[in-house]
Amino acid sequence: MFLPVILFGLVVLLLFTYLYKTGRYNESYWKKRGVKFYDRSKAIGPYWEFLTTKRALFEILGDIYKEYKDDPAVGIGQLSTPALFVIHPKNVQQVLQTDFQAFHHRGMESVEGDQLSDNILFMNGPRWKLMRKSMSPLFTASKLKNMYYIMDKSAQDFVSYLKGNPKKRESDIYGTLITFCNAAICGAVFGIGSESTFDSPFIKLAENMSATKLKNVLRFAIIGMSPKVANMLGIKLFKEHEDYFISSIAEVIRKREAENVKRHDFADLCITLQKNGTLKDETTGCTIEPTTGLLSAQALFFFAAGVEPCAVVLFSVLTLLSCHPEILEKVHKEIDEKFEKYNGQITYDVINQMEYVDKVLNEATRILPPNGYVTRQCVQDTVLEVGNIKVEKGTKIFTPIYQIHHDPRFYPEPEVFDPERFSKDRKPSDEIFMPFGMGNRMCLGARYAKLQVLAGLVHALRHFTVKSNANMKNLIFQKHILNVKPDNVDIKLVLRNIN
């Protein structure tokens, strides 16, 4: 009966020995290269505190940023993979933009045996390049203009939903925003009809795939630390939804082909790609078959890029506006003027005329960006310019967003909500303003996401004002692997008196 106890003790001993040796190796690795090392939890670095506390990962990285703010970068634990937290903006820009050949890998991999993870968020190398090129036509300015009717209808349905469900305006506003973003993405992926986008049968599926759920947080954490370990443990991100999601996409494509009607949405793109046959990159020779499974994985990209990040941004904007009634009044004034001028017809061109709303959105995503950091992985040996740091192939890179946005060296009085920072004569450079990252691996759907947020925000604030209990000096953030979402804020939407 002592055998299980002995075996358990051996496993613990072996694990402790492995982590101890790994930590010693990590520390030695970076010190040999003249790089300071974050020596708390030498084996898995900030992930240890993330797994054992209630804090978001970006907050833990923020502590490291403050401690080493005068250094160009600092080494951190990442099991047996060398990992570097890049701090200096010039090095951040090099990793995300100027040295793209060395850092085009996101630091994440598609999960073996998990079809839906084979999308452009997880793809790398020639396959990523080819898939992104094939998806890009959906996000050009002209395509977004043609698609805007979907976002506008979703936003109008959102207002009707709020008016018809008073309780949804008074509690769990974030959950309501998630529902709106799900409805909007379902409309863009599966198409819309005359019924409300909030009646889509796919909304529940989308909600179940949310990365906020604890089990998904743990999955993403393990995959983020080590894709190899995740594969050894058989961890899958979306496997449980695979059959239903792929069959749903197949049914949408079949019906759309039968209708033979252009709706300028994702289903149209699927039909075009399948009709054109094998995707091929003439430069690399890489080929991809546009199977329904592969296209379903790309559809999942919409949900990953367009639901939680957009809901987080909307929640953050409403939080900040509720704390600044004078700015909220200016926002209401600009929205009201456009509704009255255009008889309530808010088109793509009209929404792009709302300059003050755009400033507010930019400043809100500076203070509370949807993601607190982004990752990359080095694919060829290179040297970081500031600090002359040699970076070997395979090194995992973390680059800050939230911390740079809040650094007084780059933004005077960074905690002040000042939309005029984004006036034409003061607009910050892309080197320090990057709510969606920067460079060629910046989120492909960033422009779509911004339009979706603007549509929801403009229609909601036409009919409602916002109140909350928010104290910007005392925010507690939701425990999340990537997002920046206030967790101790209750928001209420109150009907406005408009003609």
Binding-site residue ranges for heme: 443
- Considering Cα of 472, then 477, then 72, then 399, what sign does the dihedral take? negative
Residues in CB range of 369: below 8 A, 6 or more apart? 401, 402, 405, 434, 435, 484
The dihedrals phi and psi of 37, each to the nearest 5 degrees, come to -125, 135
Tell me whether strands 373-377 and 73-76 are parallel, antiparallel or unpaired. Answer: unpaired
The Cα–Cα gap between 237 and 398 comes to 22
Residues in CB range of 154: below 8 A, 6 or more apart? 180, 183, 184, 187, 192, 197, 452, 455, 456
* Helical H segments across 33-166, by residue range: 46-52, 57-67, 89-93, 125-135, 141-164
The Cα–Cα gap between 28 and 23 comes to 9
Helix (H, G, I), strand (E, B) or coil at 83: strand
Residue of 297, 368, 353 whose CA lies nearest to 135: 297
The dihedrals phi and psi of 264, each to the nearest 5 degrees, come to 60, 35
Helix (H, G, I), strand (E, B) or coil at 440: coil
Angle between helix 173-190 and 266-276 (nearest 10): 30
| Secondary-structure breakdown of the chain: helix, strand, coil percentages, each rounded to the nearest 5 | 55, 10, 35
Q: What tokens were used for 226?
A: 């080590």
Beta bridge partners of 400: 373
Let me know if 132 is exposed, middle or buried by CB neighbors in 10 A (0-12, 13-18, 19+): middle
Q: Residues within the annotated binding site?
A: 443
Residue of 16, 95, 67 whose CA lies nearest to 438: 95
Please, are residues 490 and 468 in contact by the beta-carbon 8 Å criterion? Answer: yes
Residue of 78, 97, 16 whose CA lies nearest to 432: 97
Residue of 258, 242, 203, 266 whose CA lies nearest to 118: 242
Q: How many CA atoms lie within 13 A of 160 on its CB side?
A: 11
Q: What tokens were used for 345?
A: 């017809």
Q: State the DSSP H helix or E strand holding residue 184, giving kind and residue range, or none if neither.
A: helix 173-190
